[in-house]
Structure 1
Amino acid sequence: MNNLSKKTKAFFMLLILEFFILISLFFLKPDMIGQKNYILLSATFFLALWSFSTDLVMALFGALFLVLAYGSYILYQAIFAGVFNFTFLTDYFWLLVFPIVAYTSSQLGEGINDSNKSIQELRKNIQALVRVDNLTGLGNKQKFYEDLSEEMRRARRHGFDLSMMIVKIMFFKELIDIYGKSKTNEIIMLMVKNIEETLRAEDKKYRLEDDTFAFILPNTNKNGAEVIKNRIRTNLSAITLNSGKKEEKLNFNFKIGILEYDQKTNDVFEIKHKLEKELEYDV
């Protein structure tokens, strides 16, 4: 990342230097001031923009087009107009300027694109390292998979009971449309508070998606999970939202699924899929 940043800075400074030299020539050599050189300078500027936004091959094609166009103009002037007083600094050097500026601009653009890709990759890696949901403080999906894998190993090794629970808010988008994002977040926090009061300290809690929560229940069989499920259902049905002096009882739909670990698989993704399928039987 550091080398990439240095490379990008180097091409940026080089491009600035190239245009500085070009513009300085107009002040140092008054004979360069004219319509032709102004058009060529403008073409160089637009070539730089084009090259910055594309790859090196297309940038060099753009430069080649300008070289051929300007070279044809010089040839036409020499053959048909009888003009032979061409000099390097005022005429021919543009044939070098076009590919140089195209190359520099293209490399600068590629360097910035590579830097952006590196930044995006770093953000993804940072996100992967984060194990906590920002809103609720519960574990996120990554943390759920890690803990589930660990609890499954413990259950297999020691023969412990293990159950999982999933709670999904139905019509979540419609809930946001009715209450707005802020109020919906408040509702979610009330849900989390009620659920945490129902679960034990050793139970592990997660927010998998905006509308989906999961819980790992160590040393709990299916009958015990059913008891917890009924308690959560009762508590969630009694949630009230305070709006100033007014209390509003919330009527929103949710489904709860439970799954007891059969100690036959170590695939956490398969377990999660089975747990989600249990939502279909909660009617």
Structure 2
Amino acid sequence: MQNINNKLRMQYKELITIDRTTGLGNIKGFYMDLDRAISRVKRHNINVSLMIIKISYFQQLNSLLGESKMVELLKGISKCVMDSTRNEDIRYKLSNDTLAILLEDTDIKGSEVVKERIKEKIKELSLQQKEKSKNVNIEVKIGVYQYNKDIENSFQFKELAERELEYDVD
């Protein structure tokens, strides 16, 4: 019975595509959805953009705030992302310090509007944190890349969006 129970637990973990902390999709769901989106783009010639959001100084914030406060902060950042995007946009937590948004039917210009909206919401969250006497400044870098036919696969698409992080300066 115990072996069956352990096997079922392992199978369950493999099926989960939602991050427990934030409620966003996880990296497994991200790659599945990204492959599907690329397939749709090739078939229907629609626009798809990928946005990568990296929390700056994540390790330092984690050390300063502690794990439970950092979880609270991640939930706040996730809420900023959710509030700044459409229902049809798919949001993910790729790692502790990295979020992603798959923006279907969105070109680079539309993605830039969403990027600015997210940055404004995160600035508001940062001000709220300062008011709570947590001398914390939340900074993020956001990279956006629109899919094109030269992109060979989902890994390359993600890498191109991540490279755009370098150009996000305030």
TM-score in same-fold range (> 0.5): yes
Shift of 1:201: 0.7
**Normalising by structure 1, what TM-score?**
0.54
Sequence identity, in percent? 36
Match of 1:112 in 2: none
Instruction: State the 1:127 CA deviation.
Output: 2.6
Alpha-carbon distance in structure 2 between the residues aligned to 1:217 and 1:263? 17
The residue that corresponds to 1:241 in the other structure is: 129
- Name 1:147's counterpart in structure 2: 33
Q: Which amino acid aligns with 1:162?
A: V
Q: Which residue of 1 aligns with 2:166?
A: 280
Specify which of 198, 201, 206 is matched with residue 87 of structure 2: 201
Q: Does 1:127 align with 2:13?
A: yes
Unpaired runs of at least 5, structure 1: 6-114
| Alignment check: 8 A CA contact 1:162 1:260 kept | yes
CA distance in 2, matches of 1:178, 1:146: 35
Tell whether 2:71 aligns with 1:174: no
Q: Quick one: distance in 2 between partners of 1:197 and 1:249?
A: 24
Q: How many residues align?
A: 165
Contact 1:140/1:206 (8 A) holds in 2: yes
Q: Which has the higher contact order (CA 8 A, sep 6+)?
A: 2
Deviation at 1:241, TM superposition (A): 3.2
Contact 1:170 1:253 in 2 (8 A): yes
Contact 1:152/1:263, CA 8 A, preserved across alignment: no
Rounded to whole Å, the distance in 1 between the matches of 2:135 and 2:124 is: 7
Instruction: Answer whether contact 1:149 1:266 (CA < 8 A) is retained.
Output: no
Q: 2:49 aligns with which of 145, 163, 184?
A: 163
Looking at CA atoms only, which structure, 1 or 2, has the larger radius of gyration? Answer: 1
Distance 1:127 1:188 in 2: 22
Alpha-carbon RMSD across the aligned residues, in angstroms, is: 2.2
Structure 2 letter corresponding to 1:135: T
* Runs (5+) with no aligned partner, structure 2: none
Do the aligned partners of 1:206 and 1:213 also contact (CA within 8 Å) in 2? yes
Using structure 2 for the length normalisation, give the TM-score. Answer: 0.87
Q: Which residue of 2 aligns with 1:11?
A: none
Q: Which residue identity lines up with residue 52 of structure 2 in the other structure? A: I
Q: Which residue, out of 211, 225, 234, partners 2:111?
A: 225
